[in-house]
Amino acid sequence: MEALLPVLKSHPGPSVLVCSLIFRLAYQLLQRLPVPKVVKQDAFRSWKWKNLSVSMVHSVLTGIWALTCVVVWPETLSDIYSYHTPLSYLLVCVSTGYFVHDATDIILSGHAKGSWEFLLHHALVIWCFLYALYTQLYVAGAVIALFVEVNSVTLHLRLMLKLASAQSSTLYYVNKLTNLFTYVMFRLTTQFYLTWFIIHNYSWLDHGGYFLVSMMVMNIMILIYFYRLLRADFFPRSCAGQNGMHNNNTKKFISD
């Protein structure tokens, strides 16, 4: 790892592209896994399932990786600005590669218009992470930001179960409660901690204004998503959304 770090730091851009290609390879390999019949019958569901499969791999990998970095090197939590290790730098590089892959997949598949919120999120993340990789600053902050991937595991599972029309299953019910817990614990708490750090240290942070604006935009987005999640899973307005699975509302249904 120590020998690899100088190469990564000398060529962060190409390193990110290599990681992106690795995720593209994972995308191709995952196509060999069995897919629920109801998913195969709909073109959008089929693409979304493939997309979520790679996202799940990224979330499991980087969520565990980020938590491990903080457990082994607790300085990561306190020195968000300048602290990093070879493993944490590599983590940010790998994760940036995923977001590049996912943004590319959304655009090339023709779903950019319907997924503009994800593209905005990815653009903000990619820019912030690339800044960290090129300047070697805020790497610890990027690692902490990846705590949200723990929640992404349950979010992705939730969407995949909806794609498979398994909302009435016990697994969906258990995941629904787990997802609520991880959303608050790992997504909301993480975002607000990073926001607090930037505000508290704003006077001396490099490009603090840009990162503060970026965090505020993402905070608004995750609060909106949280409202949608609560509305869909805990305060459903009717059962029509679950029973009336027509082609014209499939995209909206699995986005809730």
pLDDT digits (tens, 9 = 90+) for 127-184: 999 999 999 999 999 999 999 999 999 999 999 999 999 999 999 999 999 999 999 9
Show Cβ contacts of residue 182 under 8 Å, excluding neighbours closer than 6 positions. 150, 151, 153, 154
Number of domains in the chain: 1
First to last CA, the chain: 41
pLDDT of amino acid 92? 97
Domain encompassing residue 47: 4-255
pLDDT of amino acid 244? 42
* Percentage of the chain exceeding pLDDT 90: 81
pLDDT of amino acid 241? 45
Confidence check: pLDDT of 7 > 80: no
pLDDT of amino acid 186? 97
Q: How confident is the model at residue 3 (pLDDT cuts 50, 70, 90)?
A: low
pLDDT of amino acid 1? 59
* Percentage of the chain exceeding pLDDT 70: 91
Q: Which amino acid is at 152?
A: S
Alpha helices in the chain (DSSP H): 4-10, 12-30, 37-40, 43-72, 75-78, 86-108, 116-135, 139-145, 148-163, 170-182, 189-200, 208-233, 240-243, 250-255
pLDDT digits (tens, 9 = 90+) for 112-124: 888 899 999 999 9
**Residue 227: count of CB within 10 angstroms of its CB:** 11
- Spatial contact of 153 and 179, defined as CB atoms under 8 Å apart: no
pLDDT of amino acid 9? 78
